[in-house]
Structure 1
C-alpha cells in the first residue's frame, strides 16, 4: 500500500490538515518536522533557500515519517512538478497562477493522460508506495494533489475558471502577496479587511466547486482561524520561525 494512498481524500474528508512549512535548505529539517504532529510538510522552493537537490532529498525523508510531502515549485517551473511527483511527492503548489493557460500548463505536468500530459518515470513514487507500475498508473492521478496559488486580482477574477480546469485539485492562497495585489502595491497586510473578504470569497468558490482550499498562516493562532473557516490545508509559520520562537522561549526561561 502507498505511504499516503489518499492525500486528496484526506484533504476532502477532513478534519483540516495542518502542515509544517520548510524554507531552510537542509532536508533533515523537513525530516525532523515530519516526526512532529503535523499532517503534512510543505517544502518551499519559491522563496525558501531550498534548491532542487535538497527538496528532492526531503521527499523520501518526509514520506518515511508517514507524512505527505508537498513542494511549492518556483514561478513558472511547471515541468519541475512532474519530477517531484516521480520522486514520490504527494502534492505540488504552483505560485502565481494568473491565467487559464497557467492553470492548464500546470495541470498538464501533474496528471497522466487523458487528463494531462505527465510522462512516465515514477522512480521514487513506486518505491515509496510499494506499488508495481501496473498498480500505480491507474491510481496515480488521484495520488497527486495539484494546488494553484491564488494571490492576485487576476486570479481572483477567474477563480471559477481555474477551479474548472481538469487536473486542478484546488487552490492555495498566499495572503501576503494577495494583500500587495489588492492594495495595488501600497502595503503588505495579510490581516486587512480586504484580504479577509477575498479569502472568504475564494473559499466559498472552492467549496462550490467541490475542490480543496489551502492557505498559509503566519502563526498558530491565525492557523486556528483558517481551520475554523473550513480550509482543508493550513500551513503554520515556517521552520525559521519555529527556530527563532524556540530560541526565544529557551532564552527567556534561562534568564528569568
Structure 2
C-alpha cells in the first residue's frame, strides 16, 4: 500500500507533494487533471465545498488512482460515517475540516484506524484495487488481498486535519501530537477570517503569516508534516521552501475560469 500511495511516499521522503483540487463532478475531468502534469502527486476530492456526491466521490477516487495519482477526500465533517465512506472507497487519505479541539483530532484518528488503534469497520472490497502500484512498462499487477489491506492500512493512509479555526490554532501543538495525525493542513483564507485577519487583495498580513508559521512549527516539533492550500505553482513552491510539503497547486474551478478568461481576452 505504501508503494502505491504517492502522497505518503513523498511526505515520508521529506519531499514536496504537489496536488490538484477537484470541486466539480466527473471522471473525465479527473483524468484530464491527473494526466495534465506528471508531477501531480495527489488530487483532493472536495466533498465539503465541492459539487461532489458520494457516488461521484467513489468514481473520482477510482479514476485518480488509475492515473497513479493519490486520491485524497476532503470529507464534509469529521463524522465517523463520512470518514468510513471516504476510506472504504479506496482513498489514499482524508482531509478533515473545521477542527476545534484535541478531542476532535483524536476522534478523526479513531474513525480512520482499524483496531486496536481505532474502531473503523472492515470491508476492503472497493478499496483494495486503488493500491495497485503503477509500472511504466506494464507487466503483471497484483491487487492487495483483504488481509493485506487490513494489516497495512493503519500505516499507509494519510490522515490530514485542517487548522482553520481560532480554537484549533490555540491548541495546534497538542493536536499535532495526537498519534495517527500525519499532516496539519492550513486554509489561509479560512484561518484568516477565523482569527480576524482575512486575506485582502490576495495578500495576507503579518499576523496571519505568524499564525501559519505556528502551524508549521507545531508540525515540525511533533515530527509530522504541514500542508497549505495554494492557488498557483509559484505559491506552492514558495511555501514548500518554508517547510510545507502537502501543497495544492490548482483548483479546477479557478483554473478553468482563468484559462477561459485568458483565451477570450485574446479575441479583443
TM-score by length of 1: 0.92
What secondary structure sits across from 2:244 in the alignment?
A: coil
Could you give the per-residue CA deviations for residues 152-188 of structure 1, whole angstroms, max 9, x where no partner exists? 12111111211222221121111111001111xx744
- Would the aligned equivalents of 2:2 and 2:9 in 1 still touch at CA under 8 Å? no
Give, in whole Å, the separation in 2 of the partners of 1:187 and 1:127. Answer: 42
Distance 1:249 1:219 in 2: 16
2:234 equivalent to 1:221: yes
Query: Using a 3 Å threshold, how does the CA distance of structure 1 residues 77 and 31 change in structure 2: closer, same or farther?
Result: farther
Q: 2:60 & 2:207 partners in 1: Cα distance?
A: 36
**Count of aligned positions:** 253
2-structure distance, mates of 1:15, 1:6: 11
After superposition, the Cα gap between the structure-2 partners of 1:234 and 1:247, relative to the gap in structure 1 and judged at 3 Å, is: same
* The one of 249, 256, 260 aligned to 1:243: 256
Higher fraction of helix: 1
Query: Which segments of 5 or more consecutive residues in structure 2 lack a partner in the other structure?
Result: 132-142
The equivalent residue for 2:89 is 87
Note the 1:30-41 alignment, pairs <5 A.
30-37=30-37, 38-41=40-43
Q: Which residue of 1 aligns with 2:70?
A: 68
**Which residue does the alignment assign to 2:12?**
12
Q: 1:75 touches 1:96 (CA, 8 Å); kept in 2? A: yes
Any conservation in 1 of the 2:75–2:86 contact (CA below 8 Å)? no
Partner of 1:27: 27
Within the candidate set 190, 193, 197, 1:177 is matched to 190
Contact in 2 for aligned 1:111/1:144 (Cα 8 Å): no
1:205 to 218, 224, 227: 218
- Tell me the secondary structure at the aligned position of residue 123 of structure 1: coil
8 Å Cα contact 2:91/2:130 also seen in 1: no
| d(CA) in 2 for partners of 1:6, 1:219 | 21
What residue is the counterpart of 1:112 in the other structure?
A: 114
User: How much does 1:4 deviate?
Assistant: 1.8
Q: 2:205 aligns with which of 192, 213, 227?
A: 192
Residue 193 of structure 1 deviates from its aligned partner by 1.6
Could you report, residue by residue, the CA deviation over 1:105-132 in whole angstroms, capped at 9, with x for unpaired residues?
1111111112111110112221223111
Moved more, 134-143 or 186-195: 186-195
- 2:265 aligned to which of 229, 236, 252: 252
Gaps of 5+ in 1: none
How far off its partner does 1:8 sit? 2.2
SS at match of 2:114: coil
CA distance in 2, matches of 1:79, 1:28: 27
Question: 135-144 vs 148-157, which deviates more?
Answer: 135-144
| Structure-1 residue corresponding to 2:138 | none
How many angstroms apart in 2 are the aligned matches of 1:74 and 1:83?
A: 11
Change (3 A) 1:97 1:162: same
